[in-house]
C-alpha cells in the first residue's frame, strides 16, 4: 500500500513522499523499512530524528524533525488504530460458525442461529443469546441470563443467572459477572450468608477485563453503564453503579453500593469505599484510597485521597520536614540565647 | 403474603397495618407498591419518609418517620436475608442430579452417590467428594483431594492435589485452592523453584471468593479456619493460618506464614507482610500495609499501618503542615527582629 | 533413609548422629520423630532447643543450641528443596500420556508426540507445542501461538493467539497470557478500542502465577525475560518489558510500556506507572507506588515511592509531628513573653 493511500484512508495530512510503500505497522524503536509507526507520547519525539520507519503518524500540530514522511492527524491513537486494522494481522477471534458439538446448551435456552459457540461452553435454561454473539471455549451463561447481540465472551468468561448484558459487550478471559455479593451477618459467633437475589446489568459496548469480577446486587442490580472500560483484575462490589463511558485501570476495587458517575477515570489499584458518590468526569489517581464523596471533575490522589493540589502539598511538606525540624531547633537555640541575654541584664 | 405473616416468619415487631399484601423485596429507592424494603444504613433514614414501599424492615430502636408500616428487628441484615428467602427468586444453583456425561472422573475417585457434577468437571484419582456436594461446570479436583459434604464448587473452581476442604464450603468462580506457594532460591544467577509439598485445609462453612487464590504450604498446611469469609481476588500465601470466623474484603493479600487470628476483619486491598501475627478480633483498615504484629482487638490503618488514632493524627498533622510552616516562618521573623532590637542597644 | 545419606545427597555437613532414621520432612513446629526440618528464618532459632524433629537443616554458620543433629549447608532453601524431593510426596502433575479424547485440537496445530494434553483443552490452528509439554485440564492455546518444550500449563491456563512461550515455562491456574491491552481513544463522547496487534514473549524457565494476566502489546511484544518469577493475581500491562530473573510478589501491577530491569524484586501489591524504567537489581517495597524511574540497585518504598532512607525518614517525621507542633507552640509563647519584656522596657 502506498503512503498516500493510507493517508486518505485514515484521514491524515501527508507531509512527505506519498509514493513510499508501506507493508507493516509497529512501534518507533522496532520500526524498519516499509513500516508505518506513530508518536503517541511527546516524550519520545526525538526518536523521529533517526527512525528507520518509512512513515510516522503524529499529532496535527507536531513540530519536530523527522527522518521520514509524517502523517498529521487529529488523534494519533485513532489513526493508529485505523492503520493497524489496515496493515496488521486480523485481530478478531476466529471461531467456526455454529455450535461446537461439545457445548452443553439447554433446550430451554434461546440462542440466535447466528451465535457461534466454542468447545466446552455451557448455556443454561432460559438464557437468551443475541445475534452474532461469539462464545469462545469454556464460557458459562447461567439460567435466565440475557446476552445481547454482537457480544464476545472470551475463554472461560462466566455470566451468572439472570444477569443482563447489552450489545457489543466484550467479556475478557476468566471474567466473572454476577458472582455473589460479599455480605454476611454475624449471629451466635458465626457469619451467615446474606442472599443476593439481585443481578448485574451491563450496558452496550462495555468491556470487562480478564479475571475481573462484577458482583451481583443484594436487590436490584449492580449496573455497568454503556461504553464503560474496565481493565483486568478489577473488583466491582454488589450494588455498585458505574456511569456511562467511565474507565478504570487494572486492580481497581469499588466497594458495595458506591456510585461512580459518567466519564470518571480511575487509575490502577485505586480503591473506593462503600456507599460513596464519585461525580461525573472525576479523576481518581492510581493507588488512591477514596473514603468520601468526590465532586464532579475533581482530581484526587493519595490514601486517604484528597484533591490533587492538597495531596501534592502534603507529600511535598512531608519530604521537607527534616528541614523544618532543623529550623525549629535553630529557633529554640536562638531564643534560649536571647532569654539568657535578657536575663543577664542586657 | 400478608405483612403480619412475614413479621411472624422473620421474628419482627410489626408497627402498622398487618393486612398489607407483600409480593416482592427490594432496595428503598426502587421499592414500589407490594414491596418490602429495609433500612440497613442509618444514612438513608430520611428516604423512609417518602418511600413507596409497602413496608420497611428497621432496627428495633429506630425512631424516624416512615410513610409505611415498619418491621422492627434485632438484626435488619438477618431479617432481610430471611425475607429474601421468602419472597425472592431461588438463589441456589440449579444443577441436575447425578454426573454429567462429559465429566471426567477417575475410577479411583470416591464420589458419594448424591454428589452432582456438572459438565466438563475433572476429578482425579484418590479424590473423595462428600454427600450432597455440587460441582458446577468446569471444576477441577486434584489427586487425593478431599471435599466434604454439602459443598458448592462454582464454575471453574480449582482444588489441587491433597487439599482438604470441610463441609458446606463454597468455592466461588475461578478460585484456586492449593496452587504452588511462591518460593524460590537463587543459585548461579537464576531462581530455582522450592517444591511445596504441603497442602491447604479449609474449615467447615468457609467461603472463598471468585478468582481468589489460596496457595499450598511448603510443608504442613495453609489453614483457612471455620466460617471464614474471603471475598474476590484475594491472595493467601503459603503456610498462612487464618483463624475461625475471620473475614476479608476483596483484593486483600496475606503474605507467607502470617498468622491471622479469629474474628479478624480486613478491609479491601489491605496487605499483611510475611511471618506476622494478627491478634483475634483485630480490625485492619482498607489499603493498610501491615508490617508488624497487631495485638488482639487493635484497629490499624495506613501504610505502614499504625493504630487508628495514630494514623488519623499523622494524617491530620500532615494536612496542617502548611499552617505550621507559616508559624515557624513568622517565629523566625519575630526572633530576628528581637535580636536586632537587642543588638541595637534597646 | 539414614541422616548421613541425606547429608551426602544434599551436600550438607553433618553435626550429630548420622545413623538417625529419617522418613519425612516438615516445619519446625509440626516436626516429630523421624522428621527432617529446617531453619529458614533466624527469628525461629530458639525453636531448635526443644524441637522434636530428628534433624534440622541450618545455615553453615548457625551457632545456636539444637535438641537434635543438624545439617549445615550453604543455602538452607536449596537444601530443603532437595530434601523435599527426596522425602516428600511426588509434586509433579500426574497426567496420563497422550491426548485426552475430549481435547479439541486443530488438525493444523503442530503438537509434538510427547505432549500430554488433559481433558477439555483447546489448541487452535497453527499453534505449536514442544516436546514434553503438559497441558492439564481446560487449557487454551490460541491460533499460531508457540509453546516450547517441557512447559507446564496448569488448569484453565490461557495462551492467546501468536504468543510465544519459551521452554520449561510454568503457567499456573487461570493465568491469561496475551489478553488485549487496555487502550482506548475517545471520540464523540465514547471510548473506541485500540487494536492490540502485538503479542507476548515469555522467556525460558519463567513462571506466571495463578490468575495473573499478561496483556499483549499494541505492536511488537510484551516481554517477560528468562527465569522471571511472577506470583498470583499480578497484572502486566501491554508492551511492558521484564528483564531476566526478576521476581514479583502477588498483586503487583505494572502499567503499560514500563521497562523493568534484570534481577529486580517487587514486593506484594506494588504498582509501577506507565513508561518508567526500573534499573537492574532495584528493590521495590510492598505496596509502593512507583511514579518515576528507579536507578539500578536502588531500594524504594512508599506511595509515591522514594528511596528507602527518605521514605523511612518521612514516615518517622510524620509520626513525630505532634511533638514538633508542641515545640513550635512553646516557642511562640516564649517569644511573646520576650517581646513583652522588651516592650515593657526591660
Backbone angles phi, psi at B216, to 5 degrees: -80, 160
Q: What is the pLDDT of residues C256-273, one digit of tens each?
A: 999 999 999 999 999 999
* Closest residue in chain C to residue A331, using alpha carbons only: C331
Mean pLDDT on C133-138? 97
Q: How far is A188 from chain C (nearest CA, A)?
A: 32
The pLDDT confidence band at residue C179, using thresholds 50, 70 and 90, is: very high
Contact A127, A148 (CB under 8 A): no
Most distant CA pair in chain C, distance = 105
The pLDDT confidence band at residue B339, using thresholds 50, 70 and 90, is: confident
Residues A306 and A156: their CA atoms lie apart, in Å, by 39
Are B242 and B277 in the same domain? yes
Q: What are the pLDDT tens digits along chain A (346 aa)?
A: 999 999 999 999 999 999 999 999 988 888 999 999 999 888 889 999 999 999 999 999 999 999 999 999 999 999 999 999 999 888 778 799 999 999 999 999 999 999 999 999 999 999 999 999 999 999 999 999 999 999 999 999 999 999 999 999 999 999 999 999 999 999 999 999 999 999 999 999 999 999 999 999 998 999 999 999 999 999 999 999 999 999 999 999 999 999 999 999 999 999 999 999 999 999 999 999 999 999 999 999 999 999 999 999 998 888 888 888 899 999 999 988 888 888 876 4
Of the candidates A100, A192, A196, A238, the residue annotated as catalytic is A238
Are B166 and B301 in the same domain? yes
DSSP B68: S
Q: What is the pLDDT of residues C146-160, one digit of tens each?
A: 999 999 999 999 999
Q: What is the pLDDT of residues C193-217, one digit of tens each?
A: 999 999 999 999 999 999 999 999 9
Residue C303 burial by Cβ neighbours in a 10 Å radius (0-12, 13-18, 19+):
buried
- Structural domain for C81, as ranges: 3-87
Domain-ending residue, one of C40, C62, C87:
C87
Are A294 and A326 in the same domain? no
Residue A124 burial by Cβ neighbours in a 10 Å radius (0-12, 13-18, 19+):
buried
A249 has a chain C CB within 8 A of its CB: yes
Nearest neighbour of B253 by CB, restricted to C227, C269, C332: C269
Query: Residue A339: what pLDDT?
Result: 85
Instruction: Evaluate whether residue C227 is within a structural domain.
Output: yes
Are B171 and B212 in the same domain? yes
DSSP C318: H
Query: Residue C62: what pLDDT?
Result: 93
Instruction: Evaluate whether residue B144 is within a structural domain.
Output: yes
Of all residues in chain B, the percent with pLDDT exceeding 70 is: 99
Mean pLDDT on C318-338? 89
Query: Residue A245: what pLDDT?
Result: 98
Are A221 and A251 in the same domain? yes
Predicted TM-score (pTM) of this structure: 0.95
Domain-ending residue, one of A29, A58, A87:
A87
Domain-ending residue, one of A28, A53, A87:
A87
Other beta carbons less than 10 A from residue B329's beta carbon: 12
- Given an 8 Å threshold on Cβ–Cβ distance, is C249 in contact with B182? yes
Are B196 and B123 in the same domain? yes
Q: Give yes or no for residue C242 having a pLDDT over 60.
A: yes
Within 8 A by CB and 6+ apart from A43, the residues are C275
Residues B32 and B68: their CA atoms lie apart, in Å, by 11
Nearest neighbour of B229 by CB, restricted to A184, A197, A314: A184
Instruction: Evaluate whether residue C291 is within a structural domain.
Output: yes
Nearest neighbour of B179 by CB, restricted to C41, C94, C172: C172
Are A173 and A293 in the same domain? yes
First and final C-alpha spacing in chain A = 92
Are C128 and C211 in the same domain? yes
ipTM: 0.94
- Given an 8 Å threshold on Cβ–Cβ distance, is C81 in contact with B138? no
Contact C274, B259 (CB under 8 A): no
Residues C141 and C200: their CA atoms lie apart, in Å, by 13
Is residue C291 annotated as part of the catalytic site, yes or no? no
Are A11 and A130 in the same domain? no
The pLDDT confidence band at residue C89, using thresholds 50, 70 and 90, is: confident
Residues C105 and C126: their CA atoms lie apart, in Å, by 10
Instruction: Evaluate whether residue A97 is within a structural domain.
Output: no
Q: Which residues of A touch C211 (CB under 8 A)?
A: 174, 211, 233
A140 has a chain B CB within 8 A of its CB: yes
A46 has a chain C CB within 8 A of its CB: no
Instruction: Evaluate whether residue C320 is within a structural domain.
Output: no
Range in A202-206, B2-6, B30-34 the model is least confident about: B30-34
Instruction: Evaluate whether residue B346 is within a structural domain.
Output: no
The pLDDT confidence band at residue C345, using thresholds 50, 70 and 90, is: low
Instruction: Evaluate whether residue B338 is within a structural domain.
Output: no
What is the number of domains present in chain B?
Answer: 2
Are B135 and B280 in the same domain? yes
3-state SS, residue A306: strand
| DSSP secondary structure of C269-309 | T-EE-TT-EE-TT-EE-TT-EE-S-B-TT-EEETTTTEEHH
Are B246 and B146 in the same domain? yes
Q: Which of B209, B269, B206, B213 is nearest to B240 (CA)?
A: B213
C-alpha cell at C312: 523511612
The pLDDT confidence band at residue C338, using thresholds 50, 70 and 90, is: confident
Q: What is the CATH number of the domain that holds B297?
A: 2.160.10.10
Please state, in angstroms and as integers, the Cα–Cα distance from residue B182 to each residue in B163, B335, C229, C235, following that order: 17, 59, 8, 16
- Which tops the pLDDT comparison, B321 or A274? A274
Reduced to 3 DSSP states, what percent helix, strand and coil does chain C have, rounded to the nearest 5?
20, 30, 55
Are A44 and A177 in the same domain? no
Please list the residues that pair with C290 across neighbouring strands.
C272
Q: Looking up cell 528483564, which residue turns up?
A: C243
Mean pLDDT on B286-313? 96
Instruction: Evaluate whether residue B261 is within a structural domain.
Output: yes
Amino acid at each position: 500500500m502506498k503512503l498516500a493511500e493510507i493517508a486518505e484512508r485514515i484521514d491524515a495530512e501527508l507531509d512527505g513522499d506519498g509514493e513510499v510503500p508501506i507493508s507493516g505497522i509497529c512501534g518507533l524503536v522496532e520500526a524498519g523499512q516499509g513500516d508505518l509507526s506513530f508518536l503517541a507520547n511527546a516524550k519520545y519525539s526525538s526518536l523521529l530524528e533517526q527512525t528507520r520507519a518509512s512513515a510516522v503518524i503524529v499529532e496535527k500540530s507536531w513540530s519536530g524533525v523527522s527522518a521520514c514522511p509524517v502523517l498529521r492527524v487529529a488523534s494519533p491513537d485513532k489513526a493508529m488504530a485505523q492503520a493497524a486494522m489496515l496493515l496488521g494481522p486480523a485481530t478478531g477471534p476466529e471461531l467456526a460458525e455454529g455450535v461446537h458439538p461439545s457445548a452443553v446448551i439447554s433446550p430451554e435456552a434461546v440462542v440466535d442461529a447466528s451465535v457461534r459457540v466454542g468447545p466446552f461452553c455451557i448455556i443454561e435454561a432460559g438464557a437468551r443469546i443475541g445475534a452474532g454473539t461469539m462464545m469462545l471455549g469454556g464460557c458459562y451463561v447461567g439460567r435466565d441470563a440475557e446476552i445481547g447481540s454482537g457480544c464476545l465472551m472470551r475463554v472461560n468468561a462466566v455470566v451468572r443467572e439472570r444477569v443482563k448484558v447489552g450489545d457489543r459487550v466484550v467479556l475478557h478471559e476468566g471474567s466473572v459477572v454476577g458472582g455473589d455479593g460479599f455480605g454476611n451477618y454475624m449471629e451466635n459467633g458465626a457469619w451467615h450468608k446474606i442472599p443476593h437475589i439481585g443481578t448485574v446489568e451491563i450496558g452496550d459496548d462495555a468491556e470487562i477485563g480478564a479475571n475481573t469480577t462484577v458482583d451481583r446486587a443484594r436487590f436490584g442490580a449492580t449496573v455497568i453503564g454503556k461504553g464503560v472500560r474496565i481493565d483486568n483484575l478489577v473488583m466491582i462490589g454488589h450494588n455498585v453503579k458505574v456511569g456511562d463511558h467511565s474507565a478504570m485501570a487494572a486492580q481497581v476495587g469499588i466497594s458495595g453500593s458506591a456510585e461512580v458517575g459518567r466519564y470518571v477515570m480511575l487509575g490502577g489499584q485505586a480503591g473506593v469505599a462503600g456507599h460513596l458518590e464519585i461525580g461525573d468526569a472525576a479523576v481518581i489517581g492510581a493507588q488512591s484510597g477514596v473514603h468520601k464523596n468526590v465532586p464532579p471533575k475533581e482530581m484526587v490522589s493519595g490514601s486517604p485521597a484528597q484533591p490533587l493540589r492538597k495531596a501534592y502539598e502534603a507529600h511535598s511538606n512531608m519530604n521537607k520536614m527534616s528541614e523544618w525540624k532543623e529550623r525549629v531547633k535553630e529557633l529554640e537555640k536562638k531564643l534560649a540565647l536571647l532569654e539568657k541575654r535578657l536575663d543577664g541584664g542586657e
